[in-house]
Amino acid sequence: MKDIQKFLFGLIVTGLGALAATTVPNVFQPGTPIKASEVNANFTALQTGLNALETKLPLKTADLTDGSVTAPKFSTQNPVSNGKFLSYNGSSLVWADGTAGTVGPQGPKGDPGTNGNTVLSGSGAPTASLGANGDFYLDSAASVLYGPKANNVWPASGTSLKGPQGNTGAQGLQGAPGPQGQPGVSGYQRVVITLSNQTLGAFGENVQFVNCPTGKRVVGGGLIVFNAVGRWLNGTNGPSSDTQWVVALENFSNATITAGQINIYAICVTAN
């Protein structure tokens, strides 16, 4: 009983963490007699302190095993929560968040980061002086990717970005019919007149006509001279009407000219 002061305050401190000091009037020393009035006075002081605590905190009381001393204990409705502190809200103890602190000062500047790799491009394989170690290079002409460059050397061969040849596709759908064309020609016929052993005097002219058959129109013509002596000139060579081709043979020299054979022809067709 002489250590009752330390015992009771130990229970209070253990249960609550911290309490205001309560002064007891009598302190007992080992080997000294005690009086009942002094013990009662100490209990009265302790009871007064406990009553004061019960008005400030939601406390419960628990009987000690010997039934001679009553000590307070507290309980909370909420379990322990990490990062929070115990607070009294007027009726019970609760775990609450602390007030946010002020923002700390800005930290020092960090160390420079390592350089990132670069993807270069061009036409043809990369040259040894191009790029840095870790870089890649795209040959846009051949669609080949080289890299990464290591020990200042590009890989001897790159990776082709082209896929394998695909399979032949299915037959496409039949297209829509085209528009109606213009009327064509038919009844092609080559009409020829033959002139044998022709002679043309100095500065002379010989005009010949080739006519198409009835119902046909001329679309072309011409002449062929065989075994000529002297210079035969073609002064006129063309259509004279829709159905006739005309050829004018000319001699612009002062000497007579001859030809073994002259074929004059017209191309005739049936007009639709």
Q: How confident is the model over 250-257, as a mean pLDDT?
A: 89
C-alpha to C-alpha distance for 228 and 3, rounded to whole angstroms: 161
Claim to verify: residue 8 and residue 90 sit in the same structural domain: yes
Q: How confident is the model over 102-119, as a mean pLDDT?
A: 87
Q: How confident is the model over 164-184, as a mean pLDDT?
A: 89
**Window from 48-62, 225-239, 242-256 with minimum mean pLDDT:** 48-62
Is position 150 within any domain?
A: yes
Distance from CA of residue 61 to its chain's centroid?
71
* pLDDT at position 81: 56
C-alpha to C-alpha distance for 186 and 240, rounded to whole angstroms: 22
* pLDDT at position 60: 45
Is position 172 within any domain?
A: no
- Give 88's pLDDT tier (boundaries 50, 70, 90): low
Mean pLDDT score across all residues of the chain: 78
Q: How confident is the model over 192-217, as a mean pLDDT?
A: 92
Is position 226 within any domain?
A: yes
Domain end: 108, 135, 154, which one? Answer: 154
* pLDDT at position 4: 43
Instruction: Give me 178's structure tokens.
Output: 């085209």
* pLDDT at position 181: 84
* pLDDT at position 170: 92
Cα separations (Å) of 259 from 85, 118, 161, 194, 199?
Answer: 133, 85, 74, 12, 7
Q: In total, how many domains does the chain have?
A: 3
* pLDDT at position 244: 95
**pLDDT tens track for 20-79:** 456 777 777 777 777 778 777 777 877 777 666 555 544 444 434 444 444 334 444 555
Contact call for residues 236 and 205 (beta carbons, < 8 A): no
Is position 265 within any domain?
A: yes
Is position 86 within any domain?
A: yes
| Structural domain span for residue 210 | 185-271
C-alpha to C-alpha distance for 138 and 147, rounded to whole angstroms: 9
Share of the chain above pLDDT 90, in %: 38
C-alpha to C-alpha distance for 81 and 61, rounded to whole angstroms: 25
The pTM score is 0.34
Claim to verify: residue 16 and residue 89 sit in the same structural domain: yes
* pLDDT at position 21: 55
Is position 139 within any domain?
A: yes
Domain end: 107, 134, 154, which one? Answer: 154
* pLDDT at position 63: 39
Contact call for residues 123 and 140 (beta carbons, < 8 A): yes
Q: pLDDT higher for 14 or 29?
A: 29
